[in-house]
Amino acid sequence: MEKSNFELSDIIGDIYRRICHASMRAGREPDEVELIAVTKTQNDNVIDNAIIHGLRNFGENYVQEAIKKHTSLNQTCEYTKINWHLIGHLQKNKVKPAIKHFSVIHTIDSLELAYLIDKEAKKIGKVQNGLIQVKLSDEPTKHGINSKELPSLVEKILVLENLQIQGLMGIPEFFADPEKVRPYYSKLRYLQEQLISSGYNQLKELSMGMSNDFEIAIEEGATIVRIGTAIFGKRKPRN
């Protein structure tokens, strides 16, 4: 069921309240944390409503799906500046459309992909913002760079002129009990701190935390949380 307007404003208000409380528990300022509304599988109506309720950052997993929405929403919402975030794996053959449409690519996990993004961004005169996705669990299906290879990847990527890396992103294994993800998030924070103390001060962002665990992610240092289900309800399966 789609959320009514009334429900949606209550829900978004409640999410901001929870972000605020988690920030305060960690001795942080609530405005250090940016909310990305994850709209994969959601239709234009849902996104339009979210825009009306003040949301401006949207996360999508699939390049084509996002572009379709982006194009139709542009006709109705020209007055707003909307930032699209790519939070799903980026295939090399989708780099060109991806850099045209996304403000931030959260899932850069190889040098090859980074070179390609830099090259295509240069062609259209864009400096593409991005995050490096770090592999947080041993599940074979998860994408991301191995934490051991992270420093050498960072060294090579941060010299690229048309790709601006702003921090790290991670997806932990799923646990019903959100406390179990805390070690994954504190590990990502630790990796970030190591890099910053090696002089990579620009790696300020930590994209971590989803519906089930965003408060814990914030306590562990998240600056970007990616929330879908807790705002829009359960997703329909993708067909």
Ligand X SMILES: *Cc1c(COP(=O)(O)O)cnc(C)c1O
**Gap between the Cα atoms of 171 and 233, Å rounded:** 20
91 to 130: interface string for ligand X, x by CB under 6 A: ----------------------------------------
- Which residue among 9, 57, 61, 194 contacts ligand X (CB under 6 A)? 61
Instruction: For ligand X, give the closer residue by CB, 42 or 110.
Output: 42
Report the residue closest to ligand X, judged by CB: 228
| Span of 13-21, 89-97, 188-196, 224-232 interacting with ligand X by CB under 6 A | 224-232
How many alpha carbons lie under 13 Å from residue 163 in its C-beta half-sphere?
27
**Gap between the Cα atoms of 68 and 74, Å rounded:** 10
Residue 189 tokens read as 């924070």
Contact positions with ligand X (CB under 6 A) in 174-213: 210-212
By the rule CB under 6 A, 41 interacts with ligand X: no
**Gap between the Cα atoms of 129 and 122, Å rounded:** 13
**Gap between the Cα atoms of 115 and 183, Å rounded:** 32
Helix or strand (DSSP H, E) at 108: strand 104-108
- Which residue among 22, 39, 40, 192 contacts ligand X (CB under 6 A)? 40
- Sites of contact with ligand X (CB under 6 A): 38, 40, 61, 87-88, 171, 210-212, 226-230
